[in-house]
Amino acid sequence: MFEQLKTLPQDPILSLMKTFREDPRTDKVDLGVGVYRDEAGNTPIMAAVQAAQERLLATETTKAYIGPAGTEGFNHLIGQLILGQDHPALRDDRVNVVQTPGGCGALRMAAEFLNLCQAGTTVWVSAPTWANHIPLLTGAGLDIREYPYLDKATLSVDFDAMTACLEQAAAGDVVLLHGCCHNPSGADLNADQWSAITDLVERKGLLPFIDIAYQGLGEGLDRDAQGVRLMAQRLPEVIVASSCSKNFGLYRERTGALMLISANAQQGKAATSQLLSAIRSHYSMPPAHGAAVVEMILDTPELMQQWQHELNGMCSRILELRAGLSQALTPAGDFSFIERQRGMFSFLGISPQQVQTLRDEFGIYMLDSSRINIAGLSTETLPRVAEALREVVEHTE
C-alpha cells in the first residue's frame, strides 16, 4: 500500500529552518521561525514557569489521566485570563472551556465541533492568515472562503474591503478573526473596528471564531483581549481558541484551550458534551504538564506577578525593536507601518527576489512572503539587518 504514496513538498517554514541550519556563516540571522527570542538569541524558560515546575516536581503525586476536558482549575483560570474576572458571560455561566494540545488542538477541535453543528460549515478567513489555519479547518470538512484583510500598499488593515466582503456572508457562516497580533501581518483591528465588526456579525447572524495565540505580546493582557471581551458580551455565541505557547513560552508542552460561549448555560452544557465527544474520538486526553504549570502560575499571586512582569518585558522589547527597525529603515522609504503593527510578526512588503538576495548575500533568513519575526532581532543584529535591507531595497527597486 505504501508504494503508492508520493513525497510531499516540505512545509516552507520547516524548509527554511533546515536551510538556515545548514548555512555555515556565523553571522546569519533567522527571522523566519515564529518563536520569541531574547537578546542572546535564545528562547528561554520563563522564571515563573521554572518556579512553577519546581513546585510541581515537589508536590505532584500521580501521572494518571486528567480527563478529556483537562483540569477544572486550568479551564477556569484561562477563562478569566481571556475574558477578565468579572466578565458578564462568566457571571451568567455562558462560558465553557476545555484544555487542548496547543492552539492547533483548539483550532482543530473547534473545526470538528462546527462540522458536528452543520456539516461543511463555511468559514471566512483573512487573506492573509496563518498558514496552518486552512489545513486545520479543511481537514475537518469545513468550507473555506477568504475576505481581504491587508492593504498591500500601506500594510495596514483594509477594513472597508474586509467589511464589504463579509456583507456577502450568509447567516450561520463562521468568521475567523485574530484576537491580537495578527499572524502573519502584525496589522490588528483597533477598538472602533472591533465594535463595527461586532455590529456586522450580530446583524447578519454570523458566528465569530477568534484565534488568540499572542495575548500579552501586543499591548498587554487586557488590551489584547478587548475584541474577544466585546464579542463575548454582545453576542450569543462565540468560539475562542487560545494558546499558552507564546505568552508562557510553553511551545513544546502543547498547552492550549478552546472556549465555547453560548446563549445560556443549558445550551453551553449541550454544546460542551458534543465537543467532549469529538475530543474523546480524536486524542482522548490532553497532556497535563504545561496546563499544570499555567494553573499554578495563575493561581499563585507571587508567580502571577512574576509572570506578568516577564511578559510585559517581552512585549516592551518587541515594541522597542519595532521602533528601532522602522527608524533604521527610514532612508530606504516609509517603513513606519512596522512601528504601528503589533506582536511578533510583520510583512516588510518586499519581493521574493529581494528576500532571496537577503538570504544569499547577507545570510538573513525570512519567508518568501517577507514575513519576519521581529523577536528574532536583537540590538546587536538590528543595525546589520537594517543596513542589508536598505541596500537591497535601494538597489533592486
Residues recognised as catalytic: 130, 211, 213, 246
Expressed in angstroms, the distance from the first to the final Cα of the chain is 51
CA 27 to mean position of chain CA atoms: 29
DSSP of 327-396: HHTGGGS--THHHHS-SSEEE----HHHHHHHHHHH-EE--TT-EEEGGG--TTTHHHHHHHHHHHHHHH
Q: Is the peptide bond before 128 cis (omega within 30 degrees of 0)?
A: yes
Q: Are strands 174-178 and 207-212 parallel, antiparallel or unpaired?
A: parallel
CB distance 382 to 325 below 8 Å? yes
Whole-number CA gyration radius for the chain: 21
3-class secondary structure, 196: helix
Among candidates 295, 289, 268, which has minimal Cα distance to 97? Answer: 268
Among candidates 104, 105, 93, 141, which has minimal Cα distance to 120? Answer: 141
Query: What's 2's DSSP letter?
Result: G
Q: Which residues pair with 95 in a beta bridge?
A: 261
Question: Nearest 5°: phi and psi at 364?
Answer: -105, 115
Torsion of CA 131, 133, 137, 138, to 10 degrees: -20
3-class secondary structure, 188: coil
Query: What's 35's DSSP letter?
Result: S
Q: Grid coordinates 472551556 are at which residue?
A: 97
3-class secondary structure, 82: helix
The grid coordinates of residue 38 equal 531574547
CB distance 179 to 228 below 8 Å? yes
Query: What's 96's DSSP letter?
Result: E
Residue 255 host element (H or E): strand 255-261
